[in-house]
Amino acid sequence: GAGVSQSPSNKVTEKGKDVELRCDPISGHTALYWYRQSLGQGLEFLIYFQGNSAPDKSGLPSDRFSAERTGGSVSTLTIQRTQQEDSAVYLCASSFPPYMNTEAFFGQGTRLTVV
Amino acid sequence: KQEVTQIPAALSVPEGENLVLNCSFTDSAIYNLQWFRQDPGKGLTSLLLIQSSQREQTSGRLNASLDKSSGRSTLYIAASQPGDSATYLCAVSLNLTTQGGSEKLVFGKGTKLTVNP
């Protein structure tokens, strides 16, 4: 596609439910990133994919968070047993590998609200 | 650990004014620095990318400079317009060989710009 696509754009869920957030990167971009932006806070790195592997998962806040990427394309971020503090905007970005010095392009984000 | 700081946190100017947004980073071992714009409730739009070997990049009314040795970047906006109102974010891309191979952007918290008509 023309840009990074995320779905859903908004998600309201009850505390304790599981949610899945989807990211379709720009075609051909091998690097994919998930970030979280809480109200009034900066962007918090969650996980980085190179192809289908995740060499850096250091930002995942707890074992309730997991992510996968298949076919070197679509990625899914799963949050199990959601808590109110998980409420945030989840942003996905893609690029060619950074060591090629190219831009990272972001999707519009998924606004998650846990009630 | 790389830290990125943006000053000021918020800025309000009258239309037509030239302005400068500041970004500083603690570790000069970066691959590139990128400036983004974020409108309320929206994702990030890339404005300018400066590679570590470059000193500045220009796009229209925007000019970004990079002084890697001092860990500073500035975003200059000429003849500001109300449509420039947004939050401007600075991010650095870490150097693979010196940062443990971690591939990610480290962001500042942004400068919220308001341009008043």
Q: Which residues does chain A have within 8 Å of residue B42's beta carbon, measured at their own beta carbons?
A: 108-109
- Give the SS3 label for residue A85: helix
What are the DSSP E strand ranges found in chain A? 5-7, 10-13, 19-24, 31-37, 43-50, 53-56, 65-69, 75-79, 88-95, 105-106, 110-114
Nearest to B110 among A42, A50, A109 (CB): A42
* Predicted pLDDT at A98: 53
Nearest to B101 among A31, A55, A101 (CB): A55
Average pLDDT on B39-46 reads 89
Best of A36, A48, A99 to disrupt the B interface (most B CBs within 10 Å) is: A99
pLDDT 10s digits, A58-73:
899 999 999 999 988 9
pLDDT 10s digits, B47-60:
999 988 899 999 99
Closest residue of chain A to B48, computed from CA coordinates: A103
- Give the SS3 label for residue B84: helix
pLDDT-based confidence at residue A97 (cuts at 50, 70, 90): low
Q: Which residues, at least 6 apart from B24, have a Cβ–Cβ distance to it below 8 Å?
A: B4, B5, B6, B7, B71, B72, B73
DSSP tag of A53: E
CA dist A30 → A68, A107, B71 (Å): 14, 15, 29
